[in-house]
Structure 1
């Protein structure tokens, strides 16, 4: 058995049976070995950023790693932005990066680069397999470390892949996520009934209905306020769950949301910071006289910690949850809120919503919050271009659930080739492109950082017209049925049709 065969067999035996791929010459023996291990599903993408973003979306929904297959340092570089998002969201992911054969490394071939250094910027674990005898054990460790530390990168030299002498390795045992100590929970319980306290939720707490309900019990029994992190990796939402408000993105609004807080208790989240520095403004929204307490941090069992806290601090308390409610279908011209109302009115049970609407998402979370149960995936690391790939990964992970991608127009172009993979896989994804013809988020940032300008040259760098992007033609050219809506009625009709018909669809919502 050669190294590639042993590697793939080991991955499959450890539960990694999907590989999002954009291979090259160095990875051809891995590609050939897919026929020897048919349990591994290979999903071809036309750009490495789609492969890494899809693996991120898959991991968020499946709760276990997918693999990627990338070509040398440049291929890893092309996938780096969405590996950054995966790292920030704590997604488990096994990143397999091919490299030159060991004998070829010293020749400084044109594609030679320092893969180890680049991989280290986004990986919690990096290993280079040095022989066929090592590769399966390295693969087993990569899966275990991905489950523990997020992105794990295994560098696979071409000759290690093609040489014989390898055997599959047994999966490694991964310890359950640690629980908070009883003394820690007791200490935090003492601050909940005193001064103004916020329970700041993220990670596994938001992904789990049980975690949210435990937090709501604490709030009902103690009077603490619940706030969710701004861009959670995955949030369970809908009727029967508490109405959680996210910490706003704009720094002024985030500071106002936490004003007066004396105790900030972190449950599955890290302490919030602003995305960027702004003149004359602190780097985070936490008041200076606020004490930050850690109930659980990412990687720990936040759900169990909250359930224990609820039993101790709020015994018998009943959580306040939302009754089922959906907005009325709007009429007339489309704007962001009308688009959000259409989505909220037609959202199907069990949907997965992938949100990269950015500035076009006004009202989107509000008008869907009390609808049918669904999951919501957010842009965790701020590197735009993750929405379309994440939807692909979510659809592969959950083929029986409808996926709805709400996608800003500018960021869609970063990874637009994901549509081709949608068509190839016949993924059940409905994409709504929010077409406002601009990088609207940067228009806001231009003012916020104090660099506002009425200059024509500055405005031109944020304008996506001249020529206008024809997403209908782009989608159809990659095999995805597409249409354009200019009114709320047209969007509702086209969204109904897309959701009723299997396979991928794209609807361009013209927002003005």
Structure 2
């Protein structure tokens, strides 16, 4: 057994049965070895950002890692943006990165690079396999490291000769450690704040955004009057009828500051203390009021849901959560706008849908339209590195083939990783993409004004414009094997979306909306 075979068998034995790949010459023995392990599914992506984003989406839905196969340092570098998003989501991902054969590295060949340095930017686990005898143990350690609470990105570097040398053996992965307990002292401090009678905000993130955590937080809020919010971009948010309708903290600092106005205590449960995404002239970076005390209920890797349940038993015994009742908006009449397209989604959303949300400025009103829709999961842009939506939808469809996946996608960020459509077509994945085409980088138009820069210049505005030429996403999708249509009215979008969800395989609907700004 060569090193590549031992790596794949170790992965499969540990329950990692999907490998998302964009390989090159140094990974050819790994490619050949895929046929020796029937339990491993290889999925080809023609862009490394799709590879890493799909691995993120897969793990968010399964709770276990997919493997990625990347070509040397440049291949890893091409996938770093979506690995950054995975890192911020604490998503378990195992990267296998090929490298030059050991004896070839001294030649400084054109693709030579410092792979350890690149992988180190992810603050995860990194190891280079120095010999074929070490591969199985290294891969097993990577799987365990990726799944150890709170989860993360683990990278194994496989020199080509280590992959092709004989003498490898699979290795049993060590069971990951489960989440640790939140200290009684911290739970007591949170209870004291909630009993104080002063305004409290509960900011939920991570596992607290799943059903059990949301229900416990709602009981606490009903009993104490605390306000509840989720972090701006949760990794996986369960939402819909029968669950608490929890507002997301605003992306724009002024909006978030308004939401937290008057709060004297912020309790972050599964979330980081709230800060603005960027610095702005004359504004604080912290979003909580200056006189508010901020308490982290848990640290990464601790069981935040158990802590919320304990608080609920302390403060809200016998109190029922406040949950959204089933309701749907009406399908809007007339042309689509940045305000009304969300009502179409809320009106026709199917049961058990998974939504990959990268709508950016076009989706500001999306949550309010869907609180009463059937139960669904939302996968958000955790790290803010755009180009996540299409790949994450691809990985979610691989993870949950029995559930409809809907990618709500802004046009600008779609262009980063639009080749995900090709993989969706190749794998016949049930992903319906609703692409909001406003022909602009609207989020950057907004930021140009907000940072106080001069927004009147012709050259500056041209850098934020996606017309000239206009992009035809219907033809782009069709060229990648994905059936596509175009909608300009609420009725058209509702009819096309309903039909696309009902038909097997991928679809794209280009929804034409005017820019918000």
- The answer, yes or no, to whether TM exceeds 0.5 is yes
- The bucket for the TM-score relative to the shorter chain is over 0.9
Q: What residue number does 2:199 align with?
A: 196
Aligned pair 1:252/2:254, yes or no? Answer: yes
Q: What residue number does 1:162 align with?
A: 164
Q: Quote the offset at 1:182 in angstroms.
A: 2.5
The Cα offsets for residues 289-326 of structure 1, whole Å up to 9 and x where unpaired, read as 11111212332211111001111121111111110011
- Structure 1 segments unaligned to the other structure (5+ residues): none
Aligned pair 1:443/2:440, yes or no? Answer: no
Question: Do 1:407 and 1:432's aligned partners in 2 also have CA atoms closer than 8 Å?
Answer: yes
Q: What residue number does 2:55 align with?
A: 55
Q: What residue number does 1:6 align with?
A: 6
Distance 2:117 2:130 in 1: 17
Distance 2:491 2:454 in 1: 37
2:492 to 490, 493, 505: 490
| TM-score computed with the length of structure 2 as normaliser | 0.98
2:508 to 497, 500, 506: 506
Q: Which sits farther off after the overlay, 346-355 or 279-288?
A: 279-288
- Structure 2 segments unaligned to the other structure (5+ residues): none
Aligned pair 1:75/2:75, yes or no? Answer: yes
Q: What residue number does 1:106 align with?
A: 106
Q: Residue 389 of structure 1 aligns to a residue in which SS?
A: helix
Distance 1:189 1:425 in 2: 50
Query: Structure 1 residues 82, 11: closer, same or farther in 2, change over 3 A?
Result: same
Q: What residue number does 2:145 align with?
A: 145
Distance 1:180 1:133 in 2: 40
Question: Do 1:201 and 1:229's aligned partners in 2 also have CA atoms closer than 8 Å?
Answer: yes
1:285 to 284, 287, 290: 287
Question: Do 1:340 and 1:361's aligned partners in 2 also have CA atoms closer than 8 Å?
Answer: yes
Distance 1:452 1:493 in 2: 43
- The equivalences for 1:310-349 within 5 A come to 310-349=312-351
Distance 2:469 2:227 in 1: 48
Question: Do 1:203 and 1:298's aligned partners in 2 also have CA atoms closer than 8 Å?
Answer: no
The Cα offsets for residues 441-480 of structure 1, whole Å up to 9 and x where unpaired, read as 1100000000132221111111111110010000000000
Q: Which runs of 4+ in 1 moved over 3 A?
A: none
Q: What residue number does 1:452 align with?
A: 454
Q: What residue number does 1:35 align with?
A: 35
Q: Residue 35 of structure 1 aligns to a residue in which SS?
A: helix
Distance 1:475 1:117 in 2: 36
1:430 to 406, 409, 432: 432
Q: Quote the offset at 1:123 in angstroms.
A: 4.1
Q: What residue number does 1:480 align with?
A: 482
Distance 1:283 1:132 in 2: 49
Q: Residue 106 of structure 1 aligns to a residue in which SS?
A: helix
Q: What residue number does 2:230 align with?
A: 228
Q: Quote the offset at 1:175 in angstroms.
A: 1.5
Distance 2:337 2:349 in 1: 18
Aligned pair 1:205/2:198, yes or no? Answer: no
Distance 1:58 1:145 in 2: 17
Question: Do 1:235 and 1:376's aligned partners in 2 also have CA atoms closer than 8 Å?
Answer: yes
Q: Which sits farther off after the overlay, 300-309 or 425-434?
A: 300-309
Q: What residue number does 2:309 align with?
A: 307
Distance 2:309 2:455 in 1: 51
* Aligned residue pair count: 511
Q: Quote the offset at 1:184 in angstroms.
A: 2.5
Q: Quote the offset at 1:186 in angstroms.
A: 2.3
Distance 2:349 2:212 in 1: 22
Q: What residue number does 1:404 align with?
A: 406
Q: Residue 192 of structure 1 aligns to a residue in which SS?
A: helix
Q: Quote the offset at 1:220 in angstroms.
A: 1.3
Q: Residue 185 of structure 2 aligns to a residue in which SS?
A: helix
Distance 2:17 2:285 in 1: 42
The Cα offsets for residues 264-305 of structure 1, whole Å up to 9 and x where unpaired, read as 111111101111100000112111211111212332211111
Q: What residue number does 1:87 align with?
A: 87
Distance 2:498 2:258 in 1: 39
Distance 2:466 2:47 in 1: 22
Q: Quote the offset at 1:355 in angstroms.
A: 0.5
Question: Do 1:439 and 1:464's aligned partners in 2 also have CA atoms closer than 8 Å?
Answer: yes
Q: What residue number does 1:242 align with?
A: 244
Question: Do 1:270 and 1:298's aligned partners in 2 also have CA atoms closer than 8 Å?
Answer: no
Q: Quote the offset at 1:181 in angstroms.
A: 2.2
Question: Do 1:123 and 1:152's aligned partners in 2 also have CA atoms closer than 8 Å?
Answer: no
C-alpha RMSD of matched pairs (Å): 0.9
Distance 2:478 2:302 in 1: 45
